[in-house]
Structure 1
Amino acid sequence: MNTFSKIHEARSPLLRLLVGATLLALVFAGGVAVSAHKTVTLTVDGASTTVATMKSRVIDVVEENGFEVGERDDLFPAADEAVGQSDTIVLRRSRPLQVSLDGENSRQVWTTASTVDEALAELEMTDKAPAAASRGSRVPLAGMSLPVVSAKTVHINDGGAVRTVTLAAPNVAGLLEAAGAPLQQRDEVAPAASAPVVDDMQITVTRNRIEKVTERVPLPPVMTRIEDPTMNQSRQVVENPGTPGLQDVVFAIAKLNGTETGRLPVANVVLTPARDGVLRVGTKPGTEVPPVSNPATWDALARCEAGGNWAINTGNGFYGGVQFDQNTWERNGGLRYAARADLATREEQIAIAEVTRARQGWGAWPTCSGRIGAR
């Protein structure tokens, strides 16, 4: 027979009363313990954690989790406030700052700020700028030195755009960033980016940029080269110009203060392939074309005869800039250069025209030679 059975069968009223009281006390104590247990959020210097506790006061919860509260610290709710389920406790611990303005008037202050930016706001110095740390830098619990600089009026020539600003910044680079015009890529600045800012400073910025731009441009055809031993070495004839294709080309464009100074293709995507052309190149050794002695006269004659087009072939039986008929071209030695006058270069046509003029005079071109005053 176990103990509980013995108690149950006991006839002593006193014993039964004692057992009942004991059980009631245990149930009450358990209920109190359950009601005292709670979960709260503890935020220390901006960092939050969820903690379980049976403490009833704010200060007890904080100390239970290993934090001491000094006289300069901020605690919310107050230390003696009661703690309930799901409450939030915020502790902002104070830390010393050694503050100086423009290198002078160094003094120690205490702050509960976690970052430099918050500290400047607490000190009512938002119009100042930290000289060393960034605004987002954390303020260590042990404290730190915080030199700040006041706003200065400076003149900025930014790629030709001139303006005057009044801003607080530790150096030229910081001031340009504060002015909304940060240095990028290969930008140049004078004075140097690290130079401290002083009143009435003149800052000159040269913007050097490399930009990538995609443009749709023709794709030149590849010219198939055919060597022709029957044609003079100086001759090249486009037998088939081919057909250009289409491509998207990525250009790296260099700009100086917004003005393009050069570009290079760095990639391309062919949209429509080009059709190859044919270039016939002469390989036959021959007499070099003599220099043109009176080019202005021959150009004037070509303008009159053919509108200045040395490659004209209208199908009327006359070819080239000075409108040779085929017989005149062949009789005066034109075949050494090309099969027809319109297939020869300007200089080659003038060379044969000089031979023609020597034999026939300007009368070979009776109308136009008179119009240009050649006779």
Structure 2
Amino acid sequence: MSALLHIRKSTSKAARVATGAALLTVMAGGVVGITSHKDITLAVDGKVQQISTMAFSVDRVLREQGYRPSDADEVLPGLTEDVKAGQTIVYNRHKTLTLNIDGKTSTVETTATNVREILDENGYEDALAHPQNFGADSVPLTGGLVQVTLPKKVRVTDGTNTFRTNVAARTVADVLKGTGKPLTGLDKVKPAPNTPIRPGMRIVVTRIRTEESTVTEKFSATPVTKEDPTLVKDRKVVEDEGKPGTSKVTYRLTIVNGTVTEREKLGSTVVTEPVPATVRIGTKDGAPYVAAGSVWDQLAQCEATGNWAINTGNGFYGGVQFDQNTWERWGGLEYAPRADLATREEQIAIASKTQAAQGWGAWPSCSSKLGLN
């Protein structure tokens, strides 16, 4: 039988008074317990949690949570301070870590909870503007390594665009990522991507792309040739020009810094078939060979600076300056439409006919200079 049940069954006045006192004591104790229970905020090394406690001091709260603050730790408010409902307790533990600034290391004692605070404590405000310095922002209690890269000015030539930038980057690849233009695909960079950055460095990026392009192109069929005994040997006359066909041609293009540098044909599909041209080719013997240094070469040197293909637009053509009438009258059309379109030997052949009919007087000035009259 319980004590409470036993007290309730007592009938004496004294017992009833005792029972009342016992109940009053129990109830009063219950009220004290309820009023001592507090909800507070606890922030440990930057990590915040809501807890409930009956502890009356900051030290007691921390001990309830399994922490044993040392003199090197930071506790706000102090360990002996009273705890009130709704209060925030900040507990930042002491940490020993290695600080690496551009490869130079030092040991740091701190209660900072993140890398930003560590940089601020150690005077590296410039590095705070560069989020790539932070990485995982929390700081371990022991063995931590904080690597800081200070901003450096570099010159970047990216394709056809050159600019300067001040960036906290460890390597060339990091610089390009930091500027929003990382290497992709076939891109190349000098120095190599893993090269450490130094102030004043020049970085040259070559952007390389490949793509396929399909275009419509014209193409011709192999001409149909016919021998013509009325034409001088190897002379060609187009009898029918024919008609080109069309095809869809696919190329692989290599584009370097925006300029196409290679064009590889991958394949083609005929759209319309071509009509071949018809060409007559002469078989008749042409003008006889004339050795260099002949009188005709001397005359051509005087008349046309030795240029047998000259056409200045003054109405005279070729090495010995035929006018069109003379060229046609003495059979020049057998060789070419104009003298400047004929070979040296062919021009000499027509010049010989002209000289036989008109004498050297057909070229009065130069023949006189050469003493041919």
What residue number does 1:110 align with?
Answer: 109
Identical aligned residues as a percent: 32
Alpha-carbon shift at residue 253 of structure 1 (Å) = 8.4
What residue number does 2:279 align with?
Answer: 291
Structure 2 vs 1, CA of residues 259 and 126 (structure 1 numbering), >3 Å: closer, same or farther?
farther
What one-letter code is carried by the residue in structure 1 that aligns with 2:77? P
What one-letter code is carried by the residue in structure 1 that aligns with 2:6? T
Partner secondary structure for residue 143 of structure 1: strand
What residue number does 1:73 align with?
Answer: 73
What residue number does 1:120 align with?
Answer: 119
Unaligned runs of at least 5 residues, structure 1 = 220-235, 242-250, 265-276, 282-287, 295-372
Partner secondary structure for residue 85 of structure 1: coil
What residue number does 1:22 align with?
Answer: 22
Whole-angstrom CA distance in 1 between matches of 2:254 and 2:26: 85
- Contact 2:188–2:207, Cα closer than 8 Å, also in 1: yes
Greater C-alpha radius of gyration: 2
Alpha-carbon shift at residue 34 of structure 1 (Å) = 0.9
- Contact 1:127–1:168, Cα closer than 8 Å, also in 2: no
Whole-angstrom CA distance in 2 between matches of 1:262 and 1:190: 22
What residue number does 1:96 align with?
Answer: 96
Q: Note the alpha carbon deviations across 1:346-368, whole angstroms, 9 max, x for none.
A: xxxxxxxxxxxxxxxxxxxxxxx
Q: Note the alpha carbon deviations across 1:141-190, whole angstroms, 9 max, x for none.
A: 11324454443332211112222333332221223333444334443211
- Contact 2:133–2:148, Cα closer than 8 Å, also in 1: no
What one-letter code is carried by the residue in structure 1 that aligns with 2:16? R
Alpha-carbon shift at residue 134 of structure 1 (Å) = 5.2
What residue number does 1:136 align with?
Answer: 135
Partner secondary structure for residue 60 of structure 2: helix
Alpha-carbon shift at residue 108 of structure 1 (Å) = 1.8
Whole-angstrom CA distance in 2 between matches of 1:65 and 1:211: 63
Partner secondary structure for residue 56 of structure 2: coil
Whole-angstrom CA distance in 2 between matches of 1:160 and 1:5: 99
What residue number does 1:233 align with?
Answer: none
What one-letter code is carried by the residue in structure 2 that aligns with 1:3? H
Whole-angstrom CA distance in 2 between matches of 1:176 and 1:154: 11
Alpha-carbon shift at residue 5 of structure 1 (Å) = 4.7
Q: How does 1:29-108 map to 2 (within 5 A)?
A: 29-104=29-104, 106-108=105-107
- Contact 1:151–1:169, Cα closer than 8 Å, also in 2: yes
What one-letter code is carried by the residue in structure 1 that aligns with 2:82? A
What residue number does 1:3 align with?
Answer: 6
Unaligned runs of at least 5 residues, structure 2 = 217-241, 265-270, 283-336, 339-373
TM-score normalised by L of structure 2: 0.52
- Contact 1:187–1:207, Cα closer than 8 Å, also in 2: yes
Q: Does 1:171 align with 2:171?
A: yes
Alpha-carbon shift at residue 30 of structure 1 (Å) = 0.2
Partner secondary structure for residue 182 of structure 2: coil
Structure 2 vs 1, CA of residues 22 and 196 (structure 1 numbering), >3 Å: closer, same or farther?
same
- Contact 1:117–1:136, Cα closer than 8 Å, also in 2: no
Structure 2 vs 1, CA of residues 78 and 181 (structure 1 numbering), >3 Å: closer, same or farther?
farther
Whole-angstrom CA distance in 1 between matches of 2:181 and 2:112: 30
Q: How does 1:143-182 map to 2 (within 5 A)?
A: 143-182=143-182
- Contact 1:115–1:136, Cα closer than 8 Å, also in 2: no
Structure 2 vs 1, CA of residues 293 and 182 (structure 1 numbering), >3 Å: closer, same or farther?
same
Whole-angstrom CA distance in 2 between matches of 1:54 and 1:40: 10
Whole-angstrom CA distance in 2 between matches of 1:46 and 1:66: 17
Q: Note the alpha carbon deviations across 1:206-259, whole angstroms, 9 max, x for none.
A: 2235789xx9x999xxxxxxxxxxxxxxxx99xxx9xxxxxxxxx998653345
Alpha-carbon shift at residue 33 of structure 1 (Å) = 0.6
Q: Note the alpha carbon deviations across 1:303-362, whole angstroms, 9 max, x for none.
A: xxxxxxxxxxxxxxxxxxxxxxxxxxxxxxxxxxxxxxxxxxxxxxxxxxxxxxxxxxxx
- Contact 2:127–2:150, Cα closer than 8 Å, also in 1: yes
Q: How does 1:327-342 map to 2 (within 5 A)?
A: none
Whole-angstrom CA distance in 1 between matches of 2:277 and 2:141: 91
- Per mean C-alpha deviation after superposition, the further-off stretch among 60-69 and 180-189 is 180-189
